[in-house]
């Protein structure tokens, strides 16, 4: 399952998201499939991040609560994401994942699934099953900024 949506009124949200991603510390302690200029920690929850997460959860299943992880990343020239998926076989595996484009200048790398190419644009949100294998090729610009997340049904 891969769904591509546009966040309504994304212009008003993206400035807040970009400010928070710039402000939060770079977390190089945690393992990541990203080779990026900056990545916040996996458990980062300022209000604008939570606002977007709530919108995504409402698109998936408005009547169920979900556990979540949220993080921001800044891709500059040459940055990329290794081929990976977000699911696993342990109790921490997520059910859904998403990536939201805060900033996508000319030269921003696409999100590549096995048979789908998604070109980023500000306000675009891609929601997908966590077992979908994907990657991001080398970026060709400065400040491709994303907010990403993993979602897991509570109690499952």
Residue 33, domain CATH: 2.60.120.620
Question: Of the ranges 61-65, 83-87, 90-94, which one carries the lowest mean pLDDT score?
Answer: 90-94
pLDDT of residue 92: 62
pTM for the structure as a whole: 0.92
pLDDT of residue 55: 94
Q: Is the pLDDT of residue 1 over 90?
A: no
Q: What is the pLDDT of residues 123-155, one digit of tens each?
A: 999 999 989 999 999 999 999 999 999 998 776
How many domains, in total, are found in the chain?
Answer: 1
Q: What is the pLDDT of residues 21-33, one digit of tens each?
A: 999 888 766 667 8
Beta strand 2-6 with 66-75 is: unpaired
User: Which one, of 103, 32, 97, 37, lies nearest residue 70 by Cα?
Assistant: 97
User: Which one, of 76, 19, 79, 29, lies nearest residue 49 by Cα?
Assistant: 19
Q: Domain of 34?
A: 2-153
CB 109 within 8 A of CB 140: yes
User: Which one, of 32, 4, 30, lies nearest residue 124 by Cα?
Assistant: 4
Tokens of 96: 């859904």
């Amino acid at each position: 399952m891969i769904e591509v949506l546009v966040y309504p009124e994304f212009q008003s949200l993206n400035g807040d998201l970009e400010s928070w991603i710039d402000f939060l510390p770079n977390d190089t302690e945690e393992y990541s499939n990203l080779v990026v200029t900056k990545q916040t920690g996996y458990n980062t929850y300022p209000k604008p991040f939570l606002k977007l997460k709530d919108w995504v959860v409402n698109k998936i299943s408005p009547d169920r609560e979900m556990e979540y992880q949220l993080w921001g990343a800044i891709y500059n020239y040459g940055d990329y994401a290794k081929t990976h998926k977000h699911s696993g076989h342990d109790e921490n595996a997520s059910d859904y994942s998403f990536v939201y484009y805060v900033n996508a200048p000319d030269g921003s790398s696409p999100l590549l699934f096995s048979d789908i190419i998604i070109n980023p644009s500000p306000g675009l949100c891609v929601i997908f099953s966590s077992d979908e294998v994907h990657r991001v090729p080398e970026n060709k610009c400065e400040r491709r900024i994303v907010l990403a997340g993993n979602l897991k049904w509570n109690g499952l």
